[in-house]
Structure 1
């Protein structure tokens, strides 16, 4: 620390304020670009490409591709994070992951068989999770604890912003798939270049001591042995599984189940529904977090939002129309946004031990990633075996309602 910093700490903090604001905006851009790839490809381009290759088997094909690729995503995120920690640098992983994803997306846009599409999407998921792991680590590296709340809020806005941008790009390029893939890859690569160019790596830290598989498993089991944490984990897993079981097939739902206006194509409908849903999600994320803080009540927000997510799945069942789908998307976005915002606060309040907070939050992330692996397989089996999307909506709703009930046994939070 310099003499000026010792004598004038507040002046030094003020000098760092513009730099911190600039960094947080770059983090918002990086997270938004990443989510633009995930949603634009996963919701529009990939289902469109698979439907063109195999119209009769598209539901099963998408389920297999989505499920297998999610395994790659789940595996590569912690691996890349550990390697990034070991080297003590983030920028090479940010740049390398984004540029490799651009190459993978270019490959994905050029293939014409379901097998190669699956291989291409697995490559993109793997490389994007290298990018994601390094970008996520920038917050604890560079943002002081007193600014973490603001940083987390900005990172959270990456989903509605990136989701909307990604689906808009994908919808406009659905008839030119290779262009769409390259545009989304270019967005991620551009954001990575900006972040790496303006955000220098922090000095290398001492690597964490290695942890054996047995110790990691013991840590996992010890966290889930805690009553409140276990129920929070179950509720999150059920809600995420219900949400993604339906949303992964939204393009096919619009094509095969919903009665759209005559001149509205399914991809165009997606370009309308996504901003509606993401806008509602952004509003409820902020409102739910603020109101739950003000009233110091968490369980009621989590329970009611999960229950709402379950109940609104009935709307496309009884009214498989365009107005019905608009209403469903709005209410579902409100419910999911509020749930994810306030449930995260619940989890931080029921962590078993403060000194193991990072480890236990990592355990909770399995409730996010695991259901996204299972969801495509479950959804594909339900649609294929039960003949249509009505059973899929009802299953998604039932899972969300069970997620609402899972909040009730938690005792340590009001």
Structure 2
């Protein structure tokens, strides 16, 4: 939730390496120090503090990369870059789990190894990204940094920035549906396949790997096709339609093959949507000079659903539930409706983008 404040600060930063890269460097250093501190913490409160600083560090570094893309990626390449960025978001957790599994017997390495990998990759990006980066001559947003400015970093005027507002609301709606249908997937598979949660782990892994392959195809192919056609909103709608197909398939599935088909369709949906999602955000920013502020406000439309959906979903699961069976059919159908509505909002209401 501190991201908009970092965005406002980033917009007004002027250094020899530009306004974004200092936050990449600072965030990576903070994350590199804080993650091992989680493992070494002598008690739970200190562990919690270290974890908060680790999240702050790595999210700041990641946001700096997104802000730099908003500054420098030309419109005709944004679909490709958006698709590749979405793909790395899909692959990152898989790689991280693999690294942690390899050193699972050593608590310090479980936290230290991912931190080192992240720091090395950040250093590589810092080296490459500094080429051609704008220096101290970039215009500074008007007005001093004050408490009012920082608080304003969380807000924007929907009336004056209709495209940004509709896109923000569409993303919020789409990702709420997404988190409805992914947060409890392990328990859903266990119930539908009549297995225990412990025994379903292998099934989840297989479905997850097939989903990654579908996501790679959809993200890269969708992003490149979006650039070639010069169309963005259409792919948001297609993503919503694929989500409906996948969610409905899973909602009425009671066998492994059906669940695989539904999951692959949903992963294709996410890939198509994210292939243009970031590109649309960059195109409808209210003020390019304050790209950091508005990019991070845009990220809130993803973070809010990740926090709210798991709190709301149990109430949906309880509707008509009996004998220990949760109502996953209703949950998945609700998620499908929300995802489609989100894609439809962007397709019909965002006017500044084709």
1:247 to 171, 178, 182: 182
Counterpart in the other structure of 1:400:
339
In structure 1, the gaps of 5 or more residues are: 1-73
Counterpart in the other structure of 1:326:
260
Judged with a 3 Å threshold, the aligned counterparts in structure 2 of structure 1 residues 224 and 308 are, in CA distance, closer, same or farther, namely farther
Counterpart in the other structure of 2:28:
98
- The two structures, once aligned, show a CA RMSD in angstroms of 4.4
Q: CA offsets, 1:45-89, max 9 Å, x none?
A: xxxxxxxxxxxxxxxxxxxxxxxxxxxxx3146427726953635
Whether 1:222 and 2:160 are equivalent positions in the alignment is no
Within a 5 Å distance, the mapping from 1:267-346 to structure 2 comes to 267-346=201-280
CA distance in structure 2 between the partners assigned to 1:373 and 1:263 by the alignment: 23
Query: Which structure shows the higher helix fraction?
Result: 1
Counterpart in the other structure of 2:136:
205
2:2 to 75, 79, 96: 75
* Shift of residue 312, structure 1, vs aligned partner: 1.7
CA distance in structure 2 between the partners assigned to 1:145 and 1:126 by the alignment: 29
CA distance in structure 1 between the partners assigned to 2:155 and 2:146 by the alignment: 12
Within a 5 Å distance, the mapping from 1:137-156 to structure 2 comes to 137-139=67-69, 145=74, 149=78, 154-156=84-86
| Matched position secondary structure for 1:222 | coil
Q: CA offsets, 1:238-258, max 9 Å, x none?
A: 11121123333444445x435
Counterpart in the other structure of 1:191:
121
CA distance in structure 2 between the partners assigned to 1:147 and 1:297 by the alignment: 10
Counterpart in the other structure of 2:167:
232
CA distance in structure 1 between the partners assigned to 2:68 and 2:288 by the alignment: 22
CA distance in structure 2 between the partners assigned to 1:366 and 1:247 by the alignment: 19
The structure, 1 or 2, with the larger RCO (C-alpha pairs under 8 Å, 6+ apart) is 2
Contact 2:82 2:274 in 1 (8 A): no
CA distance in structure 2 between the partners assigned to 1:302 and 1:308 by the alignment: 10
Counterpart in the other structure of 2:59:
129
Q: CA offsets, 1:274-316, max 9 Å, x none?
A: 3322321222223323434444554443223213213422333
Contact 2:177 2:334 in 1 (8 A): yes
Contact 2:8 2:292 in 1 (8 A): no
Count of matched residue pairs = 339
Judged with a 3 Å threshold, the aligned counterparts in structure 2 of structure 1 residues 356 and 317 are, in CA distance, closer, same or farther, namely same
In structure 2, the gaps of 5 or more residues are: none
CA distance in structure 2 between the partners assigned to 1:204 and 1:296 by the alignment: 31
CA distance in structure 2 between the partners assigned to 1:407 and 1:140 by the alignment: 19
